[in-house]
Amino acid sequence: MAHQANQRPLSFYLLSSLMAALLVFLYAPMVCVYILSFQGPDGGMSFPMVGWSTHWFEVLFRGTGGQGMGDVPGSFRRSMRLAAFVSVLSMVIAVSAGMAYRRSFPGANFVFYSAITSMVLPGIFVGFGIALTFNLLGWQINWFSSGIGAQLTWSLPFGLLIMFIVLGRFNPAYEEAATDLGANASQRFRMVILPIILPGVIGIFVSSITSSYEESARTQLNVGLGNTMPMEVTGLLTGSSTPVLFAIGTMTTLVMFVFILGAVALMGSMARRRAARPDS
C-alpha cells in the first residue's frame, strides 16, 4: 500500500488541494458563526472574542426574551410544525406522482414541465401571488392553508425529481415478477415497490424538511400570524442584535446535522441489512 501511495501522480495532490480549498470556501463562513456563538457576555457581533462563554446559549434556552432575542422558541415551533406537514405531504404527493408517471397519460409532459418551472420562478413573486389570490377570494391566509401551499411550490418539485430518478432506475421486471406470482396492485406497491424505493422516499422526506425550514421568500407573505425561523432571524439581524443570533445558527446546524445523519444512518442500515443478513 505504501508503495502505491508513493506512486500518486502530481495531479492527485493538485486536485486534493483544490477540493480542500472548496471545503474551506464552503464552511469557513459557518465556522466564524460557530466560534462567535461562544462570545463572552460582554462581547459583540464581530471579532475579537471578548472571553469565551456559553452565555448566549443560556439566553437562547432561557427563552425569556431580551438581549436581542425575539420569540425564537415560538418561531422554531412554527417552523417545525410547518416542516413536518410539508415533508409528509411532499413525500406522499411525490411518490403518487412518480407512480403515475410510470405510465404515460395525456398531458404528462405539460404537468412535468409546470412542476419544474415552479422551481425557477422567483419565490418572492410566487408568495406574493398566493397571498394576492387569497386576498382576492376573501380567504384568510394561515399557516395550514396558504403557508403549506406556498412551501409545497418549493419542496414538491425537488421531491418529484428525486422520485423520477428513483423510479427511472426501478427494474420493471420486479413488478412483473410480483404480478406473475399473483400479487394485486396494492400488494405490488406495499410488498415490492415501496420497500425497494424506500431510501429515495426517505431522501424526499429529509430534503423537504430542510427546504421547508429554510424557506422564507414564499413563506413570509403566506404564513399568517407569527414568524417562522428564517423570518425571525432576518428580523433579529436588521434590529439591534447580540451574539444570540450565532447561538441560533450553531443550534440550527446541530439540529440539521442530527436530522441528516439520522437519515443517512437509517438508509445505511437498510443497505447493510440487504448486504449482510446472517446465515441460518
Partner 1 sequence: MQLKKRDAPEMTPEIPSDEPRLRQVTKGHRFDVELVALTKAYNAKTLAVDAISLRIPRASYCCLLGPSGCGKTTTLRMLAGHETVTDGAIRIHDEEITHRAPIDRGTSMMFQDYALFPHLTALENVAFSLKVRQVPRKEREAQAREYLELVQMDHLANRLPNQLSGGQQQRVALARSLITRPKVLLLDEPLSALDPFLRTRMRAELKRIQKELGITFVHVTHSQEEALALSDVMVVMNDAKIMQAAPAREIFETPANAFVARFIGGHNVIGRDGKTISVRADRCRIGTGPGLNSIAGEVTMVEYHGPFVQVSVCGEGNTDLTAMMSDAAYFEESPRIGSKVALSWEPAVEHVLGPEAVAFLAK
Segment 72 to 91, residues that bind partner 1, using CB under 8 A: none
114-148 per-residue burial string, b: 16 or more CB within 10 A, e: under 16? ebeebeeeebeebbbbbbeebeeeeeebebeebbb
Binding-site string for partner 1 from residue 99 to residue 138, where x marks contact by CB under 8 A and - marks none:
----------------------------------------
Minimum distance from CB of 209 to partner 1 (Å)? 25
| Separation between Cα atoms, residue 219 and residue 21, nearest integer Å | 34
Count interface residues toward partner 1 (CB under 8 A). Answer: 24
| Separation between Cα atoms, residue 199 and residue 88, nearest integer Å | 15
Nearer of residues 58 and 176 to partner 1, judged by Cβ: 176
Minimum distance from CB of 95 to partner 1 (Å)? 17
Beta-ladder partners of 52: 39
How buried is residue 18: exposed, middle or buried, by Cβ count under 10 Å (0-12/13-18/19+)?
A: exposed
Minimum distance from CB of 201 to partner 1 (Å)? 13
Minimum distance from CB of 178 to partner 1 (Å)? 7
Helices (H), the chain: 2-6, 10-36, 55-62, 72-100, 108-120, 123-136, 148-168, 172-180, 185-188, 194-214, 229-238, 244-275
> Of 120, 180, 225, 238, which lies in the binding site for partner 1, with binding defined by CB under 8 A?
180
Asked if 230 contacts 215 with a C-beta cutoff of 8 angstroms, the reply is: yes
> Of 82, 167, 178, 206, which lies in the binding site for partner 1, with binding defined by CB under 8 A?
178
Residue 173 sits in the site that holds partner 1 (CB under 8 A): yes
Residue 269 sits in the site that holds partner 1 (CB under 8 A): no
Residue 153, amino acid:
T
Minimum distance from CB of 28 to partner 1 (Å)? 41
Residues that bind partner 1 (CB under 8 A): 171, 173-174, 176-184, 187, 191-192, 195-196, 274-280
